[in-house]
Amino acid sequence: MNRDMSAAVARSWDPDEYPALAAQADTWMVDRPLAGMRVLDATPVYANTMVKYAALLAGGAQVTVGAPTGIPADADVLRRLPDFGIAVATPADLERTYDVVLDCAGAHAGVASRFGYAELTRSGLERYAGCPQPVVMVDSGLVKQIETTLGTGDGFLRAMVQLGHPVRAGAPVVVLGGGKVGFGVAAACRRAGATVTVVDPRPVAVPEGADWVDSADAGGVAQVVAAAWCVVSATGRRDALAPLAEQLVGGRALLANMGAEDEFGAGVPAARALNGKVPVNFVLAEPTRLRYLDPTLALSNAAALELAHGRVPAGVHAPDAELERSIMAQVRAVGTLAAELDAALPSLAGPSTPDRQDQRP
């Protein structure tokens, strides 16, 4: 592992905040399973992403970071990466072939890869449909629900505080999209005491005390949106809320996007939505706390090894179940999340069907 990066990580976080990545780095430092492999990583670049890079470096990988346009990043962290032996991709670099591409939002689906791809987000799935190479859909497993359900909800509440609009008891919040992200935001708002309505095409599991409205019920949707203090988009689909643009622009509700794409569409000006329609948690220095990201980032790294060893057949596949169980066991045994997981796991099991997040409201 790059000693400077190891020291930077140690200064910023305790190992019990990233038990899965810590165990991965310790093992890989001895085994060096990625020695000489060229890895392109598109994980959103923030300070806590360095813990992911540290594990890859410990495994011997040659890491290039692709920071795609449209995906928020910390410019200071990007500037410092070469100091740690990590290249930041230029357009010419993206014309090269990598051994493995660890992607986000399908940004590098067109980059050549010898062994295949691992995709972090549900929104990237359509870019890999029909891919003739192996693709691990990290979003599809239980591990990712820790980030998207617990971490994203926590990030939403923190972001609203930073933006000057804390979620208060009794505030009517409408969440469009009942998948993992929407469920997490809705659950966090309920914990804050808000009155929550989830809009989705199907009667999805909603947090205790929240209401559900069928997105096909145009009148019902219009009614709850008109009464909302805040409308949150979490469908996982670009332009999903475009049919509601006129009402959203003309209304008084705060508009918050929590999807990787612009879910409000061109009819809603960037200035009308919080954080310019960029996911509101990206206003934070740490959009998702490391303890929630750790299992997902470790799984993304582990997917590189699965792909390199030929353990993933062609096409898009969920993560290996045994690998996920191993990561969950590490988190429960060592990490700070054990008690929270015990309380939340029944809820996490509710919206586990991955395509629920990807429905139009």
Query: The tokens of 67 are what?
Result: 């920071």
Percent share of the chain, pLDDT over 90: 76
Pair (251, 323) in one structural domain: no
Question: Which pLDDT score, from 0 to 100, does residue 71 have?
Answer: 83
The domain that holds 303 is classified in CATH as 3.40.50.1480
Selection from 311, 281, 265 nearest residue 163 by Cα: 281
Pair (64, 80) in one structural domain: yes
Question: Which pLDDT score, from 0 to 100, does residue 353 have?
Answer: 37
At residue 101 the predicted structure's pLDDT band, cuts being 50, 70 and 90, is very high
For residues 172-182, average pLDDT: 95
Selection from 159, 361, 183, 171 nearest residue 276 by Cα: 159
Total count of domains within the chain = 2
- Domain end residue (candidates: 266, 283, 300): 283
For residues 188-206, average pLDDT: 93
For residues 200-214, average pLDDT: 91
| 44 Cβ contact partners less than 8 Å away, ≥ 6 residues apart | 71, 72, 73, 104, 282, 287
- Checking if the pLDDT of 161 tops 90, the result is yes
Pair (108, 231) in one structural domain: no
- Domain end residue (candidates: 267, 283, 299): 283
Q: What is the largest CA-CA distance in the chain?
A: 61
Tokens 């165990």, located at residue: 23
- Distance of alpha carbon 186 from the chain centroid: 16
Q: What is the mean pLDDT of the chain?
A: 91
d(CA 284, CA 278): 12
For residues 160-164, average pLDDT: 98
Look at strands 87-88 and 134-137 and give their pairing.
Answer: unpaired
Query: The tokens of 30 are what?
Result: 């001895």
Question: Which pLDDT score, from 0 to 100, does residue 26 have?
Answer: 95
Question: Which pLDDT score, from 0 to 100, does residue 1 have?
Answer: 52
- Domain end residue (candidates: 252, 283, 314): 283
Pair (156, 248) in one structural domain: yes
Question: Which pLDDT score, from 0 to 100, does residue 341 have?
Answer: 80
Q: Minimum mean pLDDT among 6-15, 279-288, 306-315, 333-342: which range?
A: 333-342
For residues 10-34, average pLDDT: 93
Pair (73, 192) in one structural domain: no
Pair (140, 10) in one structural domain: yes
- Contacts of 188-191 with C-beta under 8 Å, sequence gap 24+, read 188/153, 188/154, 188/156, 188/157, 189/153, 189/156, 189/157
Question: Which pLDDT score, from 0 to 100, does residue 187 have?
Answer: 93
Pair (41, 166) in one structural domain: no
The domain that holds 205 is classified in CATH as 3.40.50.720
- Checking if the pLDDT of 359 tops 90, the result is no
- Checking if the pLDDT of 317 tops 90, the result is yes
At residue 358 the predicted structure's pLDDT band, cuts being 50, 70 and 90, is very low
Pair (160, 245) in one structural domain: yes
Pair (115, 216) in one structural domain: no
Question: What are the two backbone dihedrals, phi and then psi, of residue 87, each rounded to the nearest 5 degrees?
Answer: -85, 145
For residues 28-57, average pLDDT: 96
Percent share of the chain, pLDDT over 70: 94
Pair (270, 352) in one structural domain: no
Question: Which pLDDT score, from 0 to 100, does residue 323 have?
Answer: 96
Residues 24 and 41: beta-carbon distance below 8 Å: no
- Distance of alpha carbon 207 from the chain centroid: 20
- Checking if the pLDDT of 350 tops 50, the result is no
- Checking if the pLDDT of 356 tops 70, the result is no
Structural domain for 49, as ranges: 3-144+288-358
For residues 147-160, average pLDDT: 94
Q: Among positive and negative, which fits the CA dihedral 268, 270, 272, 274?
A: positive
Pair (209, 241) in one structural domain: yes
Q: Residues 293, 299, 300, 301: what is their CA dihedral angle, to the nearest 10 degrees?
A: 110
At residue 351 the predicted structure's pLDDT band, cuts being 50, 70 and 90, is very low
Q: Compute CA distances 12 → 9, 51, 86, 210, 276, whole Å.
A: 5, 10, 19, 37, 30
Pair (309, 323) in one structural domain: yes
